[in-house]
Structures are given as structure tokens and as C-alpha cells.
Structure 1
Amino acid sequence: MQLKNLKDQVIVITGASSGIGLVTARTAAEKGAKVVVAARNEEALKELVNELRGNGHTAIHVTADVGREEDVNKIAETALKEFGRFDTWVNNAGVAIFGYAMDVSNEDMKRLFDTNFWGVVYGSKVAVKHFKERGFPGALINVGSLFGDRGTLIQSTYAPSKFAVHGWTESLRMELEKDNVPVSVTLIHPGRIDTPYTQHAHSYLDKQPIHKGMLYPPKAVAEAILYAAEHPKRDMYVGTQAKALELVGRIFPRFTDRLMERFIPPTQYTNIPAKPREESNLHQAGYGLHERGINKGWKRSNSMYVKASKYPIFSRVIIIGFGALILANIRRNKHNTRKQIS
């Protein structure tokens, strides 16, 4: 399947008012693409479009809540009215809840699924419909999560929504491939990304949600997204941690459970009091035009895994080598344990 060069594309990006979506929109515009940015924060979108146009780029905005099907249809209609087509559709919009599963209300969980899952479904359907009707290849890119490959604690309502996105994406890809529909379907698997995600989150914790540990820049996710817009890719992992968690969790599920139960909770909150829930972006638009958050840890400048993924043979060598190291380490630990017992 041959996809267009970015400079010849019209790209739709949801969740474009902050974080990954904002960086992806800016980067796509810099590379010559015409961008259609969508989010709930109209003021931020207007400012973003003015910024892009001021730099000589082509951009329009659509104020939309992707949890509403009619709003997603409006995004597509606006793109078609302005440009006559779109070539890539990026389902990026997302919200988060930090809290233990039994504490989160069903109402809040349903609202999270409206955005994180149903928004992807609505966007996928409208994009596929357009690509089928025009009969020319296009790219559908869905942004998942490392917690869509592996469950977690505290974000235990967010993770299932991303599991659903992963399952939807894989199933849709197979159906389209079986029927020879000209759509490249890519699932992005970001690791922990340094965006305002945690500041926007709806928190059931007394302490403020935050990312701690190894963090990747939003530009690394944008790099993966825009590479997939030009090159048909099944999956793009952002950060070795995303691939490692998926791999280890699949091979050693109980070991991974215990490891996460012990180490994950303290990496998801800080000691300052949590913001009031009414300030979150779960039920309303959050603040916009911030690429980064207040997260703490080792902030990487890029993702070598993304760069390696552009060269599949090199990427497979890395995966095999990493898996071999894990197996060797586990066998060594078991051997040492037996020697101590004996």
C-alpha cells in the first residue's frame, strides 16, 4: 500500500489542544501537511491555528467532543468541505482516571469509555468510510497505551479502555485486509509520556497524579504517528518500556503481576494534594497549549525504539536480544536461589 508523503497530505488529529496531539499537529504542519485539529477547548484550538497559519502553514480547527458521534462526523464534514478529502486520521483524544477500580463511579467510568473507546470507534468508522468511497489508500492511526497491553493498578479503569482500543484496532485491521480495503491501520503503543495527562486526570486519590521514572517526550509519539502516516505499519511502540512490559507480561504473567503490585503505585502520585475533580478534563475541556507536564524522572530526549522501528530487521534483532537477556537473568536468579536453598 502506497501512502502519500506528508507534504501532500491532509491530516485529521483529535485531542490536538495539548500533549501528544498538539506536538503532532505542529510537527505535521512543519513537514508541509494540511492539518485539521479537533478538541473540546475551542480557545486553544483557535490559538493553535493562528500560530500555524502565522508560520505559513495550512490549518483549520473543529471544536468537538469525540465521545459524541455527531461531533466526530462534524470533524470529517469540515475536512471534506475545506479540503475535499483527508489522507490520515489520528484518533488521539483521551482522558484518564487515577483511582482504585472499586472506588471509581460507574458514571465516571462510562464517560472515560465514551472518549477513549467510543471516540476511536466513531473516528475509525468515519475514516474508513471516506477511504472506501474514494478508493485511494489512507492511514488510520489509533493511539493506544502500554496499559492497553498490560493491566495496571490505580489506572485500572483507564487500562481497560485501552485494551478495548487495541482489540478494536486489531479486529478492524483484519476485516479490512480480508476485504482488500485500502486502509493502513496502525496502533501506537506509547510508554510513559511527559505530557499534561496526569494534570488533566480525574483523581480519586488524595495525592496529585504524576508520572515518575523514565519518561519519553511527546515528540517521540508524534514521530511514530507521522512515520505511520507515510509508511504502513501494524504497530509502533514508543519507548523500550512499552515493548518490555508487553513482552515480559505475556511470558511471565504472575511475575509481572507481583512486580507491578509492589513498584507501580508509588510511581503514579506525588506528595502534594490532588486537584479537585471538577478541575479535571473528564467531563469538560482541560487547559490547552501545553506540550509537557510536571512529571518527574529521567526525561529522555527521544525514543530509540521508535527510530529502530523504522528499520524492521534491526528492530527484531533488538527484541530478540532483549528477550534473551530477560530469560538469562531469570534463569540465573533461579539457579542462585536453588544454591542458597541447598
Structure 2
Amino acid sequence: MRVRDAVVVITGASSGIGRATALAFADKGAGVVLAARREEALAEVAGECAQRGAQALVVPTDVTDPVAVEALGRRAMERFGRIDVWVNNAAVTVFGPFEETPLQDIRRVLDVNVMGYVHGARTALPYLREQGQGVLVNVSSIVGVVSQPYTHAYVMAKFAIRALSASLRQELRLTGPRGVHVCAVLPATIDTPLFQHGANYTGRKAIAMPPVYPPERVARSIVNLVRSPRREVIVGPAGRSIVMQSKLTPGLMERVLARQVDKAHLSRDEPAPASSGNLFAPAPGAGSVDGGWGGRRRTARRRLVTAALLTTAAVVGARRWRR
């Protein structure tokens, strides 16, 4: 599909991957419809898109509300007359031991990260079907393939997003039209404000687990999926290595990632008070693309650590396979 002049709806467009994706599409000459809870931040993104010569429509939206998501689709149609691409991206998270994480927080993460995607897909697909073409992009994660501790709700949601995407692809294959595509994006750790904004009940500050990739890398992958749709695309070499190794030695990778999360995803030096983060109310301010985690020297050092862990896992797995 041609990206220039396409109409793209993006949820979670106020920061992180969603914001980077909006700017990437604006750079390519697409019109963007920006959805998130923070109107102030969306206005900033719209201004940045306008500076790039793109048309931008701001529609403050809570994706847990199906009526609001339906209204988002109508506003896009009223303004542009069609929807070519819908990017389900809005997400929240909670860190905490399973038995100490409030049930309402777990429920909220699933409501945003799963039902928000359901609401988006149910709104977008009728428009795409009627047009006979279009792309629905669901942003999942490598933790939708390989789980990790202390983010149970987030992990469940990311697995569910992959399952939803696959099921929708099967249904479209049976009922058509063939010009409508459903793609899942599986990023590794991305430099976004998600970690600062997440709810936290671990007593330890959540930090981006290395290696950390820029949000623009995910945005480019999403733009490329519009040009050439694929079932799933993993963003980040470390993510591809982890997914591949998990297929060869799943039990070993569970143990490796458990240790890695405990050592590198939760700080041992910086405590954090219990907080529900941005689960029930959006973070204040104008938002940003990145979360400040991506210094080159630090990222390079962390990549070496991750590579060493993966190499160890591969060697141990190979020895066990030979036995």
C-alpha cells in the first residue's frame, strides 16, 4: 500500500512508540489521527506533524471505552473520508510480585492492553473491509513469546495480542477481503517513558532492560508493514535472538530471563514507592518520544551483557541437545 496520502489512526500517540510512529508517517506524507488520553500531549504531536507538512487530527480517547473508540473511527472518517491504517498501540503496565499486585491494577492493564485492541479492531475492520484494503497493526512485544516475572498482566496481554492477530488473519483468509492485512509487531526493550509511568509494587525502581532500542526503529517497522504487510515482525536483534533461543531451549530461557529481569529490569540501588502510575489517570505534561534510556555507551555495554547471557544459554542448550 502507498504510504503517502494514507490515513493512519494511532492509539497511544501521546508518547513513546505511538508518538514516534505518528511522526514517521507524517514524514512520509500520510495524514494522522492521534488518539490517547492526554489532549495536551496530542496537541504537541499534532504540531510536530504539521511542521512536517502532514495533516493531523487530535481525538482524545480512552481505549477502554468502546463508545469512545467508535467515535474515534467516525471522527477519522468525517475528516478524511477513509481509514487506510489503524495502529493499536496504547499500553500501560504494572510491576509487582503476583500476590502483592492489586487486582484492580491487573484488571486495568488487561482492559487497556487487550480490550483496547479489541475495541480498535472492531472499529477499524468494518471500514477496511468496506474499502477492500487496509492494514491493522497490533503492537505486541517479545514478551508475547517469552514471558518474564513481575509484569504478569503485561505479559498476558502481549500474548493475547498475538493470538488476536493470528485469529483475525485466519478469519480474513476465510471471509476476505484479501486486501485487508493484520500485522503484529514484537519490539524488544524500547526507550520510552513506559517504565517511568508504570504502576510499581516491587519497592524497586523499574528501568529499561538492556539492550535498549530507539522508538523510531519500531516506527520504521510499522511504516514498512504498510508498504509490505507481514504476519509478525520482531524489532531489535536481541529480541530475535531471545525468541529464537526460546524455541530451542524454552526452559533454559525462562531461567535466564528470570535472572536478567531481577538484575537489570529492577534497580537494586533505587527504591520506589508503591504507585498505580498512569493506570487510572494519564501522566501530566506534553509527553515525549523517548524515556531517556538510550545513551549509546550504556546501550553498547548492556548489549554485551545480553549477548553473553544468550551465548551461555545457547552453549548450555547445545550441550543438552547433544546428550
* TM > 0.5: yes
* Alignment partner of 2:163 out of 154, 164, 167: 167
Q: TM-score, normalised by structure 2?
A: 0.89
Q: Which residue is equivalent to 1:57?
A: 54
SS state at 2:54 partner: coil
Which of residues 265, 288, 310 in structure 2 aligns to 1:290?
A: 288
Deviating more after overlay: 267-276 vs 90-99: 267-276
Partner of 1:231: 228
* 2:299 aligned with 1:299: yes
Matched, 1:44 2:41: yes
Distance in 2 between the 1:334 and 1:146 partners? Answer: 24
- Letter of the structure 2 residue corresponding to residue 149 of structure 1: V
CA gap 1:57/1:148 in 2 versus in 1, 3 angstroms: same
How far did residue 325 of structure 1 move?
Answer: 11
User: After superposition, where does 1:135-174 map in structure 2 within 5 Å?
Assistant: 136-174=132-170
Note closer, same or farther for the CA distance 1:7–1:150 as it changes in structure 2 (3 Å cut).
same
2:205 and 2:14 map into 1 onto residues whose CA distance is 22
Q: How does 1:69-218 map to 2 (within 5 A)?
A: 69-134=66-131, 136-181=132-177, 182-218=179-215
Change (3 A) 1:105 1:130: same
Q: Is the 8 A contact 1:210 1:294 kept in 2?
A: no
Please point out which of 268, 272, 275 is paired with 1:274. 272
Q: Following TM superposition, by how much is the alpha carbon of 1:207 offset from its aligned partner in structure 2, in angstroms?
A: 1.6
Paired letter, 2:293: N
| 1:9 is aligned to 2:6 | yes
Q: Structure 1 length as normaliser, TM-score?
A: 0.85
Closer/same/farther in 2, CA of residues 43 and 276 from structure 1, 3 Å limit: farther
Counterpart of 1:222?
219
Distance 1:334 1:76 in 2: 51
- Residue in structure 2 matched with residue 242 of structure 1 by the alignment: 239
Structure 1 pair 334/226, CA: closer, same or farther in 2 (3 Å)?
A: closer
Q: Which runs of 5+ in 1 are unaligned?
A: 301-322
**When the two structures are aligned, how many residues end up with a matched partner?**
309
Deviations 1:252-304 (A, max 9, x none): 121112222222212112222325515x111111244311114367437xxxx
Q: Secondary structure at the match of 1:159?
A: helix
Aligned equivalents of 2:274, 2:28: Cα separation in 1:
39
Instruction: Measure, in 1, the Cα distance between the counterparts of 2:167 and 2:120.
Output: 15
| Counterparts of 1:66 and 1:198, CA distance in 2 | 20
Instruction: Write the distance in 1 (CA, Å) between the matches of 2:76 and 2:233.
Output: 26
Q: Kindly report the root-mean-square deviation, in angstroms, between the aligned alpha carbons of the 2 structures.
A: 2.3
Cα distance in 1 between the residues matched to 2:273 and 2:54: 37
Identity of aligned residues (%): 34
Corresponding residue SS for 2:290: coil
Q: Report the residue type matching 1:331 in the other structure.
A: A
**Structure 2: unaligned runs, 5 residues or longer:** 301-309
CA contact (8 A) 1:193 1:215 kept: yes
1:152–1:159: 8 Å Cα contact kept in structure 2?
Answer: yes
Task: Measure, in 2, the Cα distance between the counterparts of 1:296 and 1:10.
Answer: 31
When residues 146 and 51 of structure 1 are mapped into structure 2, their CA distance, relative to the original with a 3 A threshold, is same
- Does the CA contact (< 8 Å) of 1:101 and 1:157 recur in 2? no
